[in-house]
């Protein structure tokens, strides 16, 4: 049986506290028009994990037109309140989003199995604590979900930190343990979604499609406009269309196409 068409809207780095109201409202309206199967929210919902910022993020999420798989980013941890960061790092997240950021969360729909993992960490072995990590327990949780899914289902991992960087983002670093993750997810997953870099791009790594979205509605731009991705999968074809803000709407589009053989993806040649 041919698997169902799947349409995923990917948004990231909303950074409420540094949000641009017009952009956020237009984004919400366009997501309603797009009628996605699922919305992947790839972290950094807030700027400094403040209550008011989480309340604004919660209100935005409540207005989304489809089930959302939401993962935290490094900005959703208390940044400067060092005591809170170490003793109760996820208390604000739990209070406002009512989900446990540890472990993994899953969403399934016809033709789709998606797993969200929290790659943000309260500290790290290097000076830049904004870098994240995926751990063995999270990989095991992803595998457990994917290994029981129907063979043709699109298998999606939703995270904050990137599994693929371009030249412009090299200094930010890949998610920690990315090599191990890619080895274990090869031919097991199809699509890895991330944010954090505030740049939109996609590509293939080790037979997996990686799609990164930029900052959806904040003024924390890194050389390109606000953006979101619409990802459409139809059997063994998948497209990633980036919608960039043009000053009034998300109207400028860039599309990349991919094809799979088994669960091995390549850039589509036609
Ligand atoms: Fe961010
Ligand atoms: Fe981030």
- C-alpha 209, offset from chain centre: 13
Pick the closest to residue 223 from 162, 166, 163 (CA basis): 166
- pLDDT tier at 130, thresholds 50, 70, 90: confident
CA of 186 to the centre of ligand 2 (A): 25
3 state SS of 83: helix
Whole-number pLDDT of residue 106: 92
Q: What average pLDDT does the chain have? A: 93
Pick the closest to residue 198 from 44, 83, 89 (CA basis): 44
Whole-number pLDDT of residue 1: 44
Q: Which ligand is nearest the CA of 172, by number? A: 2
| E strands, 88-128, in order | 104-109, 112-117
- Domain enclosing residue 39, as ranges: 6-267
Q: Is residue 1 part of a domain?
A: no
* Residue 131 φ then ψ, to 5°: -70, 150
Q: Is residue 68 part of a domain?
A: yes
Whole-number pLDDT of residue 238: 97
The strand pairing partners of 106, in sequence order, are: 115
CA of 224 to the centre of ligand 1 (A): 14
Whole-number pLDDT of residue 151: 84
Q: What confidence tens digit (pLDDT) does each residue in 101-117 have?
A: 877 889 999 999 999 99
Q: Is residue 60 part of a domain?
A: yes
Sign of the dihedral through C-alpha 192, 241, 62, 22: positive
- Number of separate domains in the chain: 1
Q: Is residue 111 part of a domain?
A: yes
Which residues are near ligand 1, the ion (C-beta closer than 5 Å)? 13, 44
CA of 268 to the centre of ligand 1 (A): 30
CA of 151 to the centre of ligand 1 (A): 34
Mean pLDDT of 172-197: 96
CA of 161 to the centre of ligand 2 (A): 7
3 state SS of 85: helix
CA of 45 to the centre of ligand 1 (A): 8
Distance between CA atoms of residues 268 and 270, nearest Å = 6
Distance between CA atoms of residues 163 and 175, nearest Å = 6
CA of 47 to the centre of ligand 1 (A): 8
- Length in residues, the chain: 270
pLDDT cut 90: percent of the chain above it: 81
Q: Is the pLDDT reported for residue 84 higher than 50?
A: yes
CA of 152 to the centre of ligand 1 (A): 33
CA of 171 to the centre of ligand 1 (A): 15
CATH for 69: 3.60.21.10
Mean pLDDT of 170-183: 94
Of 124-128, 157-161, 196-200, minimum mean pLDDT range: 124-128
Give 258 or 129, the one with higher predicted confidence.
258
CA of 268 to the centre of ligand 2 (A): 30
Q: Is residue 47 part of a domain?
A: yes
Structure tokens at 166: 């371009």
Inter-CA distances, 188 with 185, 214, 223, 263, Å: 5, 26, 34, 7
């Amino acid at each position: 049986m041919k698997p169902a068409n799947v349409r995923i809207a990917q948004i990231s780095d909303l950074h409420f506290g540094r949000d641009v109201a017009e952009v956020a409202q237009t984004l919400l309206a366009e997501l309603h028009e797009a009628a996605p199967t699922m919305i992947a929210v790839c972290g950094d919902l807030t700027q400094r994990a403040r209550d008011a910022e989480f309340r604004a993020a919660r209100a935005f999420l409540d207005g989304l037109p489809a089930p959302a798989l939401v993962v935290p980013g490094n900005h959703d941890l208390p940044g400067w309140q060092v005591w809170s960061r170490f003793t109760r790092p996820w208390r604000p997240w739990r209070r406002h989003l009512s989900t446990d950021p540890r472990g993994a969360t899953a969403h399934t729909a016809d033709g789709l199995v998606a797993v969200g993992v929290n790659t943000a960490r309260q500290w790290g072995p290097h000076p830049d604590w904004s870098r994240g990590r995926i751990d063995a327990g999270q990989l095991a949780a992803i595998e457990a979900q994917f290994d029981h899914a129907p063979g043709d289902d699109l298998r999606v991992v939703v995270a904050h930190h990137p599994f693929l960087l371009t030249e412009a983002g090299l200094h930010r670093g890949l998610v920690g343990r990315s090599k191990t993750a890619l080895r274990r997810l090869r031919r097991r997953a199809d699509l890895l979604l991330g944010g954090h870099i505030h740049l939109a791009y996609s590509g293939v790594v080790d037979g997996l499609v990686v799609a990164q979205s930029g900052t959806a509605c904040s003024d924390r731009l890194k050389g390109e406009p606000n953006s979101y991705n619409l990802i459409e999968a139809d059997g063994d074809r998948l497209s990633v269309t980036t919608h960039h803000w043009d000053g009034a709407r998300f109207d400028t589009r860039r599309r990349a196409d991919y094809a799979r053989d088994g669960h091995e993806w390549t850039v589509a040649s036609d």
